[in-house]
């Protein structure tokens, strides 16, 4: 789910994506492309990206009218459910139960590279600038350089699946299934700034 000042967009276990009026709560439009549960979606700057248990990622173009959301591309390459996506004007980043993160070009929707290093499925990620931070069922958090496709750092400390993660230029904050939380501050000579 994501929202702005005008609309709320939700993904559902019935494979649909629904657009709602933020002021009235009334449904405005329904999109069907995925053939299994929609697990995550993001939208910004006229683009929406959704991912599904059906192992695909859909890239949609959005105009000012919620009725004019059109699927542009379907991205296929994961071997298990795609759990989370994030993107900017350069890259779409997807993470899956297949233990991989895939990087795609936003404009042409072309496959660029696979990031490998987790030993179990990936449940969450955030992408910003040249950095990706991912959390996994292997109880680790990994910090990646998206351009080099390399792991910069592996953080350990969770005893359960890392379910949510956020980062800024100074810290990574994560949460696990059983009320665990882990805050990792970077050493003073290190930075997440790009």
pLDDT value for 183: 54
CA-based torsion, 82, 112, 165, 176: positive or negative: positive
Query: How much is the pTM?
Result: 0.91
Reduce the DSSP state of residue 167 to 3 states and report it: strand
Q: Cα 152 from chain centroid?
A: 19
Q: Determine contact, residues 48/9, Cβ cutoff 8 Å.
A: yes
Q: How confident is the model at residue 44 (pLDDT cuts 50, 70, 90)?
A: very high
pLDDT value for 182: 57
Distance CA 127, CA 86 (A): 6
pLDDT value for 48: 98
Distance CA 61, CA 82 (A): 20
pLDDT value for 5: 95
Min mean pLDDT across 65-74, 111-120, 171-180 is at 171-180
């Amino acid at each position: 789910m994501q929202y702005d000042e005008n609309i709320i967009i939700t993904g559902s276990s019935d494979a649909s994506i629904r657009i709602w009026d933020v002021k009235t709560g009334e449904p405005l439009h329904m999109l069907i492309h995925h053939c299994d549960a929609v697990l995550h979606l993001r939208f910004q700057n006229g683009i929406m990206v959704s991912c599904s248990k059906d192992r695909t990622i859909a890239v949609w173009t959005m105009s000012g009218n919620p009725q004019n959301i059109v699927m542009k591309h379907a991205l296929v390459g994961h071997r298990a459910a795609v759990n989370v996506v994030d993107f900017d004007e350069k890259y779409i980043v997807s993470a899956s139960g297949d233990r991989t993160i895939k990087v795609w070009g936003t404009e042409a929707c072309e496959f660029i590279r696979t990031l490998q290093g987790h030993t179990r499925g990936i449940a969450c990620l955030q992408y910003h600038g040249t950095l990706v931070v991912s959390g996994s069922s292997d109880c680790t958090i990994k910090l990646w350089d998206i351009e080099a496709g390399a792991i910069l750092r592996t953080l350990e400390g969770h005893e359960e699946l890392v379910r949510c993660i956020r980062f800024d230029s100074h810290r990574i904050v994560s949460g696990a299934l059983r009320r665990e939380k882990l805050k990792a501050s970077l050493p003073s000579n290190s930075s997440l700034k790009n």
